[in-house]
Amino acid sequence: MQSTLSLSFSPSSSAAAVSRSHTTRFSLNTSTPLNLRFCGLRPQALAFNASGNHRSSKLPSRPRSQAISAALSANGSPPKFFDYDLLIIGAGVGGHGAALHAVEKGLKTAIVEGDVVGGTCVNRGCVPSKALLAVAGRMRELQNDHHLKSLGLQVSAAGYDRQGVADHAINLASKIRNNLTNSMKALGVDILTGFGKILGPQKVQIGSSDKIVTAKDIIIATGSVPFVPKGIEIDGKTVITSDHALKLEFVPDWIAIVGSGYIGLEFSDVYTALGSEVTFVEALDQLMPGFDPEIGKLAQRVLINPRNIDYQTGVFASKITPARDGKPVRIELIDAKTKEPKDTLEVDAALIATGRAPFTQGLGLENIDVVTQRGFVPVDERMRVIDSNGKLVPHLYCIGDANGKMMLAHAASAQGISVVEQVTGRDHILNHLSVPAACFTHPEISMVGLTEPQAREKGEKEGFEVSVAKTSFKANTKALAENEGEGLAKLIYRPDNGEILGVHIFGLHAADLIHEASNAIALGTRIQDIKLAVHAHPTLSEVLDELFKSAKEPPEYSSSSGRLGHIQKPVVGNRWKETTDSHGMNSRGVLDVVLSLFLSFFSAFQRCLASMLHFSN
């Protein structure tokens, strides 16, 4: 469907009118409801018009087929009519994002949830963990006498109430969960309670009852659960996963954390701030695998070495026995390569932070000839499910942790939105290299795109050079004002064309700063363009400003041709391209000159006409 973008100006402003037709679905209608988001979700049920007044959030929908029960058709054949346009199995962040976008597109939508709305992120993951990390951050500030004295502050000894801290996390999760539920109900999304099981093409059974619903398109968004290696016994009290740790039922004097990725790092920040001693057990030869090595090295110097943390690398926890009968938790370690016994630890508690596994059992995938790969549902770049013969399963998609492409809540939401775009007629492929990630330690770590080793490997294969630029938080005025100058920003790019390959940040509010780089990658913005952007002073955003400015421009952009005077226009692929004539003036510049002359003439004509009328009177 085509839509028209119209821009009009009065003669007093520009004496111009422009009308342009777009093939994509886009409009600037001020009567369209404005969707408000928070926590990466979109839970607001109310919309506002341009004047700020409340109005109904009910959106127009496309004509739908008359609903008919799927029980009237055999499970192996698709139904002729559908109960819903879109059915989503799983009401986590990914399912929620897809559902709200589907309503915006006019689809009759239902979401199936067998547990609680919000999924892992809201109830047992990123939301309650941020509540605990907020407490950890405050405790670190109050406990850092040197930092406080440098600011001229004096604070007495800080303490905490364990149950109060736990209640803060529980209450936050409950609030967000209720907001998500109410937002979907207000927008007309049907919430179907029970576990969803696929019976056949476009048919899903809800719970253990005989209730069967049909949908033209189905999205699997069932998320993941903590991965527990063999030999580890979870009792939920002294040997725990992140699900249990977020309840903060007790703060151990000494806790071993198995795994030093995102989950392990964040919990080490919480536990050490609350007074625990931490020991990392890492199977790889270095801590913080997956991070850019240079950033990881700096983060270790700041987040681990000065704190009450020790670690063992290159070892597996082959067996962990919970505390019982007055005995402590026992951890048997073996060499990760030789598998020979290496050491035994006896601690008060052990947190298993070895990653997450997809929750795809019981989905009925065998009914549509889909075989999982290590539990993950196989999909193509458009999130379309692939069966055991390598063929696409019609009208079936899988997003989020269940497909394993990028196990982040906001990635799941982005994939869900991408799927909705496809089922409503607009082809869309999500660029996962533009999806940012963050670790909410103090200071924070964030990243988007490739690490330096990954970029150099890609460069060797594809035949291009890789350059690196860096800047320090110690050169940033706002960071120094906060007395938080410890940090580094790193840019990885192609010097031949200015393409941004990756950005990594360690420092104050790194999780917020990364989005400028993320959006630049998503939009295809090059170094030579983004370094001309203006940042408010003094702000932390200037860390990125200095980072981009320190990169070398491609040779064709390094001449002294005065790029600041050039006007740029968007072309296909969200790239930006200059257009100049043989005299060095771009086409838009010519138009501006002509328009300026016309306005000057029109203004002089108005004055002349006014004078003539005055004399005639």
Q: Give the catalytic positions in this structure.
A: 537
Q: Between 409-423 and 93-104, two packed helices, what is the crossing angle to 10 degrees?
A: 30
Name the strand (E) or helix (H) holding 20. strand 17-22
Name the strand (E) or helix (H) holding 263. helix 262-273
C-alpha to C-alpha distance for 394 and 561, rounded to whole angstroms: 54
- Please, what is the end-to-end C-alpha distance for the chain in angstroms? 57
C-alpha to C-alpha distance for 443 and 463, rounded to whole angstroms: 36
C-alpha to C-alpha distance for 245 and 348, rounded to whole angstroms: 14
Query: 369-372: which pairs have CB atoms within 8 A and are 24 or more residues apart?
Result: 369/393
CA distances from 95 to 129, 363, 578 (A): 21, 16, 41
C-alpha to C-alpha distance for 384 and 395, rounded to whole angstroms: 8
Burial of 7 per CB tally in 10 Å (0-12, 13-18, 19+) = exposed
Phi/psi-derived region of residue 118, left when phi > 0, alpha when psi is between -120 and 50, beta in every other case = left
- Smallest CA-to-CA distance from 135 within 174, 167, 173, 176 is with 167
Q: Between 93-104 and 162-186, two packed helices, what is the crossing angle to 10 degrees?
A: 30
Name the strand (E) or helix (H) holding 18. strand 17-22
CA distances from 381 to 48, 194, 372, 415, 418 (A): 35, 29, 17, 10, 10
Residue appearing with tokens 């995938």: 365
Number of helical (H) and strand (E) elements in the chain, helices listed first: 15, 29
State the sign of the Cα–Cα–Cα–Cα dihedral 438, 444, 447, 451: negative
C-alpha to C-alpha distance for 561 and 366, rounded to whole angstroms: 63
**Distant-in-sequence, close-in-space partners of 35: CB < 8 Å, separation ≥ 6:** 42, 44, 47, 100, 104
Q: What DSSP letter does each residue of 60-106 carry, written as one string?
A: -----PPP--GGGS-TTS--SS-SEEEEEE--SHHHHHHHHHHHHTT
**Distant-in-sequence, close-in-space partners of 611: CB < 8 Å, separation ≥ 6:** none
